[in-house]
Amino acid sequence: MRLFIAILLPEPVREALSALRLGLPGARWVEPEAMHLTLRFMGEVNAGEAEDIDAALAAIHVPAFDLAISGIGNFQSRRRVRSLWVGLGRSEPLARLQGKVESAVVRAGFEPERRKFKPHVTLARLKKTPVGHVGAYMETHDTFAVAPFAVTAFTLMRSYLNRDGPHYETLAEYPLEGAQQPNRATVRSTEPT
């Protein structure tokens, strides 16, 4: 199973972000229903490891909080722009949640993440998009912002890769304290034994 831990975005936020999905040649836009904020990418894990991750994440206790999306940026490698994203305003509650997720994953037996956490929501993956086009697009949208929204839970997600891009499945949801959420579902292996 290919897993990651994320905050899913409410529909009004995804709608606002979907308005940005135009005007950039060579962009492979992320579908609105797939937009999320990754807290920790796990990669390939087996069913037993998934259950250990689930148990560790279920022990996290963090209050619900608000989060705001603002600004636009990109990730580059070797003078090529790889992806376009929107950023998140500085948030101590988000940093606290991500830190607790990281600690839980390490307690479950995984290596610590070496990369620094850079909160963002990917808008598009880019291939052979001229850097000048990316710069013009970013300049046009540099004041983009979305009103703060409530973060009431985080999720354990499974990713399926295919030619059309990744598809996601929610395996478990973990409500934050003070949030009105249904009881948490637990991870059950869907892999053949």
Give Cβ neighbours of residue 75 (< 8 Å, ≥ 6 apart): 81, 82, 83, 85
Active-site residue identified among 120, 133, 141, 167: 120
Q: Where are the beta strands (DSSP E) in the chain?
A: 2-8, 27-29, 36-44, 65-77, 80-88, 120-126, 145-151, 153-162, 165-175
Active-site residue identified among 36, 61, 133, 167: 36
Instruction: Clarify whether 141 is annotated catalytic.
Output: no
DSSP symbol at 25: T
Residue 68 CB burial class (10 angstroms; 0-12, 13-18, ≥19): middle
Concatenated DSSP letters for 63-89? B-EEEEEEEEEEEEETTEEEEEEEEE-
- Give the span between the Cα atoms of 67 and 180, in whole angstroms: 17
Q: Would you state the structure tokens that stand for residue 185, as one six-digit string?
A: 């579902």
Q: Would you state the structure tokens that stand for residue 23, as one six-digit string?
A: 């005007």
Q: Enumerate the active-site residues.
A: 36, 120
